[in-house]
Structure 1
Amino acid sequence: MSNLLYLPDWTVTEYEIDSDGAYRIPASYDTAPDHCEKCGAVGNLYKHGTKKTVFVDAPVHGRQTFIEVTRLRFRCRDCGGTFMQPLPDMDDTRRMTVRCRDYIARQALLKPNTHVAEDVGVNEKVIRQISSENSEVLLAEHFATLRAPRVLGIDELKIGKEMRAIFTDVETSWPIELLPGRSSEEVVHFLGNLPGRKETEVVTIDMWRPYREAVAYAMPQAVIVVDKWHVLRIANDAMETARRRYQGLLKDKDRRELKRGKAIFLKAPYNLTDSELLNLDGWLKNVPELRGAYETKEAFKAIWKHKNSDDAKEALHAWRAGVPKHLLNLFRPAMTATKNWEREVLNYFDHGRFTNAPTEARNRVIKMTNRLGAGYSFDAIRARALLGKRPGRVKAEKIAAEKARKASMVECDICKALFEPSGLEVSHVTPISAGGSSGPENRMRVCPECHRFHTKEWFKPHDDSTPLSE
């Protein structure tokens, strides 16, 4: 029978809302122990008083919830020992329900500890302890099943005044590891020990040489792709420099107007509103200094519209040769970067056109988590970065995993049911002893049941004796 707690074998008769707006629920557990917890004697217990204990439950209707349990005490006639009534739904160590502990463990990966503590009604220290214990278990499970993704993204972010390397599965947009640093030794060590590293096909990085060297050493088969955004940003920086230089020559009113409209020089034209396009056209027609930088920047961005690396390479070389002389110094960083990283830049066009955008997105979320939870240790941030999945993502991952599992299943050649590949056995259509070959044309993949019961006419001898097994 259900009760207000939705826990079996509990009796709840009423509840109240206290002055703090929290639920107070008096309750008792109906199941008595059948043996002594001290000596193990069975059937020789008697009640020895009661004790009221308050347990914290998970929030209900947005309110903190406390269960006031009237708990029995028992004494053993054999050993004389006393003990409290066992409560399997409660965590005695922390004076809370098991489901409340599980709720805290999940929420602490998604919210700051102070927010979870306020929601539940416990000390923040308890939240940290539960979160730490849960993270240890989940991280152990994570690394036990960790494998290199098909498309790996490598980037870095600053946490606690240190640059940390982050590794992401680009296709699922989820990080697989966050390192304490980003040195070449740390990156090489992680990649060199990453299970399945030889199966990685593409690695997206920014233009930091140690990443390229580490990937070439640990994953020589992988194609390195420089993130498009990092390359295009160099041209945008050149445009910004040109704008600021001209802006410094203007009077106050015009200078403020140009500064307010700085975004129109960086956005793609199709992302501008009609008024922004009109404003941009006015500046470019009247200011040759801005028009030349803008046209050179847009010509550079147009390279990424090509469909393959050959056309892109030709366009890139033509762009470098066509930069106006008075703009050479301005765009020299873009020219140098595309020369030094030309192969990795052009790999973008022929290998899935992957970018590091998913990694950059995770970086933003991790930084936000760090800001909201001021004072987090690196280990706490790392646990939240790797394990803090919203319910929607968890559900989507489960559905994808189940879909992949079904896709990998193989049909039994006899009963046509689907099984895991390892669950099928190879059976010969005609036994080798009866003249059958060992080639694939004489083999079928059958499930254990079909392999056990499958018989053919050739099993039978010429007389009417019992059929022989294969």
Structure 2
Amino acid sequence: MNRSLEIPNLIVTKEEEEGGFKIVHVRSIEPVAEACNLGCKLWKNGTKTRDINDVPHYCKQPTILRFHEQRFGCADCADADGVIVGSDAVYEHVTFVQEGTWMTHRCIDYMASECVRTPFAEIARKVGVDRKTAAKAFSLRSDEIVAARKGVVPRVLGIDEIQVKKEMRAVLGDVENKAVYDMLPDRDEALERHLYELSDCRQLEVLVTDRYDPYRGMIKRRLKGRLHVTDVWHVVRHANFAIDEVRIRISKSLSNRRMGVALRNSKKLFHLRWHDATVEERASLVQWFKLFPVLAEAYWTKERYFELYLCQSTAEAEAYYKHWLSRLPGSVSDSFERHCAIPRRWMPMLIAYFEEPYTTGYIESVNRFIADQDRDGRGYSFDVMRAKFLLREPLADLTFRPKTHLSPPSRKRRVITPDDRALRDLQRGHHEPMVLRTTHAWSHRPGSFSISLRGLDLPYPPDIAPQMEAAMEALRNLKPTGSYVAGRCDFNRPFP
């Protein structure tokens, strides 16, 4: 059997299976001996068998190359003192094996690349080696790559943290280009030292972090003049904390135990944004609103807080927040002031988002990768975790088939065209009862308002009743000229 393994100067002579391994007998086509000098006269003197691990072949079965190494005899070989003693054991020069191991170069490369996303034990089972051997192969390649890797300082640097080995580690990434940057032993001294090293780098312009207060101090001390942006999610999630507090307080005050349990278990329902909720979820929310009007006030206060990030400029965002804070309903003001009031020291970082709209979402996804590796590895050192982090690459979409857009039903809002039955009925005056929710009372964009075409009886703040009546009349007289979004339609036109 003369089959090639795509290794130069090597040919297959026989194949067999033994103990779950695929044994491939190979030999050199033209063996080259390691002679002591050019004048040696060599003759072939049999072969010696060596087992060499190779990448998995044949349906990912562990493979061993049983290499029949050619042995030579030489009458002119000398000992250490230069005395001609001769030798009958001069072996051929093997080039496809990693020095210091009995594994092929491509086997080392395969294990090093696969170990980035896969635990050492699983790769060891695939190749047919010990777990420590897989770890050694990964370290052999990763040390070379990480040492030679010179990270390019990004323009927008994202900073987050994750707990590894019971310590908080700093994770840094390029959020603009979605690329990893570095992982540091801690988020305090090591991070501040690293930021100090970046102080002379003028390429770095923006830093995106959460609201961990030491981050603000480090950036202020070490990176003066750079724009510091607070992550969106770490701001708006406090509105969910506030509505949870209101919801739990109401559930504890109920005498009906079953209703109280149902209200406590509806956390995800009240966290939903109105425009993301399905018809069934909206109907369920409306039922709770009718039973407990305080929940309605808390929910719409939360929705208005989220709409802070619909502003178009820093001045508009700051004015919007102050107006929202001054118009809090009395029944829920304590909870929202406690959770959503932004400290004065963090206000510049919050409104900086409207200059550079970046978040730490990419760093959070990388944290998930690190957490999965830490859980699956159960014993990785920080150096191994850092190497896996730096060598991580996005999974490539490798397929030869044409891409088809076969996806499950989307939860996005349905678009209503002028030909749709809902708008036809609206023009004829036979529409179902609708409720308008105006943002005119709390928005700094006069004349913009939102309508709901779901036909649900939603409560709204009583202080905006005149604007709602005017909006309803404007809608009845409106001639549809484009597409309108069911659930929320923005018409940038002044009230009559």
Q: For 1:204, what is the secondary structure of its paired residue?
A: strand
Amino acid at match of 1:6: E
Instruction: Pick which of 80-89 and 339-348 moved more.
Output: 80-89
Say which of 51, 55, 58 aligns to 1:54: 51
Q: Deviations over 1:241-287 (max 9, x none)?
A: 11122222333322332233221111111221111111011111221
Matched, 1:212 2:219: no
- Residue of 134, 155, 160 corresponding to 2:160: 155
* Secondary structure of the corresponding residue to residue 378 of structure 2: coil
Q: Secondary structure at the match of 1:234?
A: helix
Output the CA distance in 1 between the equivalents of 2:340 and 2:199: 38
Question: Where does structure 1 differ by over 4 angstroms across 4 or more consecutive aligned residues?
Answer: none
Tell me whether 1:297 sits opposite 2:302 in the alignment: yes
CA–CA distance in structure 2, aligned partners of residues 380 and 324 of structure 1: 52
**1:222 equivalenced with 2:214 (yes/no):** no
Secondary structure of residue in 1 paired with 2:14: coil
Q: 1:73 corresponds to which residue?
A: 71
Question: What displacement does 1:341 show?
Answer: 0.9
Residue-pair matches, total: 387
| 1:83 to 1:271, Cα distance in 2 relative to 1, 3 A | farther
Q: Does 1:288 align with 2:287?
A: no
| 1:3 counterpart SS class | coil
User: What residue is the counterpart of 2:243 in the other structure?
Assistant: 239
C-alpha distance in structure 1 between counterparts of 2:200 and 2:192, whole Å:
15
Partners in 2 of 1:374 and 1:172 — Cα distance? Answer: 31
Local SS of the residue matching 2:324: helix
Matches within 5 A, 1:407-426: none
Who is 1:33 aligned against? Answer: 32
Equivalents in 1 of 2:122, 2:199: separation in Å?
37
Report the AA paired with residue 104 of structure 1.
Answer: M
After superposing the two structures, state which structure 1 stretch, 90-99 or 22-31, moved more.
90-99
SS at match of 2:27: strand
1:111 is matched by which residue type in structure 2? T
Secondary structure of 1:197 counterpart: coil
Alignment partners' CA distance in 1, 2:132 and 2:33: 36
When residues 187 and 35 of structure 1 are mapped into structure 2, their CA distance, relative to the original with a 3 A threshold, is closer
Residues 216/268 of structure 1: CA separation in 2 closer, same or farther (3 Å cut): same
SS at match of 2:8: coil
Corresponding position of 1:384: 388
Return the alpha-carbon distance in structure 1 between the equivalents of residues 333 and 237 of structure 2: 17
Structure 1 residue 122 corresponds to structure 2 residue 126: no
Higher helix fraction (1 or 2): 1
1:96 and 2:103 are equivalent in the alignment: yes
Contact 1:308 1:350 survives alignment (8 Å): yes
Instruction: Report whether the alignment pairs 1:146 with 2:151.
Output: yes
Secondary structure of residue in 2 paired with 1:83: strand
User: Given that residues 40 and 75 in structure 2 are in contact (C-alpha distance below 8 angstroms), is that contact kept between their aligned partners in structure 1?
Assistant: no
Partner of residue 416, structure 1: none
Give 1:132's match in structure 2, choosing from 126, 139, 155: 139
How far apart are residue 289 of structure 1 and its match?
Answer: 2.6
SS in 2 for 1:198: coil
SS at match of 2:332: helix
Deviations 1:127-165 (A, max 9, x none): 1111112221111122xx223201110111111111111
- Residue aligning to 1:316: 321
Deviations, residues 313-357 of structure 1 (Å, cap 9, x unaligned): 111010111123343331223444253311110011122x11111
Residues 120-129 or 251-260, more deviating: 251-260
1:265–1:335 Cα change, 3 Å: closer
Give the whole-Å Cα distance in 2 for the aligned partners of 1:195 and 1:126. Answer: 41
Q: After superposition, what is the alpha-carbon deviation per residue over 1:360-415, rounded to whole angstroms, capped at 9, x for unaligned?
A: 11111111111111111111111111112245299xxxxxxxxxxxxxxxxxxxxx
In structure 1, C-alpha distance between the alignment counterparts of 2:296 and 2:18, rounded to whole Å: 69
Tell me, which stretches of 5 or more residues in structure 1 are unaligned? 395-470
Distance 1:345 1:159 in 2: 29
Q: 1:333 to 1:4 in 2, by over 3 A?
A: farther
Match of 1:45 among 42, 45, 52: 42
In structure 1, the partner of 2:284 is 279
Question: What TM-score results when the alignment is normalised by the length of structure 2?
Answer: 0.74
Once the two structures are superposed, the pairs formed by residues 351-362 of structure 1 within 5 Å of their partners are 351=356, 353-362=357-366
Structure 1 counterpart SS, 2:44? strand
Separation in 2 of the partners of 1:140 and 1:19?
39
Q: Is the 8 A contact 1:223 1:347 kept in 2?
A: yes
In structure 2, the residue matched to 1:337 is: 342
Instruction: Please list every run of 5 or more consecutive structure 2 residues that lacks an aligned counterpart in the other structure.
Output: 78-85, 399-496
8 A contact 2:160–2:172 mirrored in 1: yes
Query: RMSD value over aligned CA atoms?
Result: 2.2
Shift of 1:43: 4.3
Shift of 1:42: 3.9
Residue 92 of structure 1 and its aligned partner are, at CA, apart by: 5.4
The SS at the match of 1:56 is strand
For residues 390 and 94 of structure 1, do their structure 2 counterparts lie closer, same or farther at Cα, with a shift above 3 Å needed? farther
Letter in 2 for 1:53: R
Partners of 1:311 and 1:146 lie apart in 2 by 38
Q: Quick check: 1:193 aligned with 2:197?
A: yes
Indicate the residue corresponding to 1:11 in structure 2.
11
TM-score, scaled relative to structure 1: 0.78
SS in structure 2 at match of 1:172: coil
**Residue aligned with 1:337, SS:** coil
Q: Secondary structure at the match of 1:13?
A: strand
Distance in 1 separating the partners of 2:395 and 2:323: 50
1:182 aligned partner: 187
Query: Aligned residues: percent identity?
Result: 30
Structure 2 residue 379 is matched with structure 1 residue 375? yes
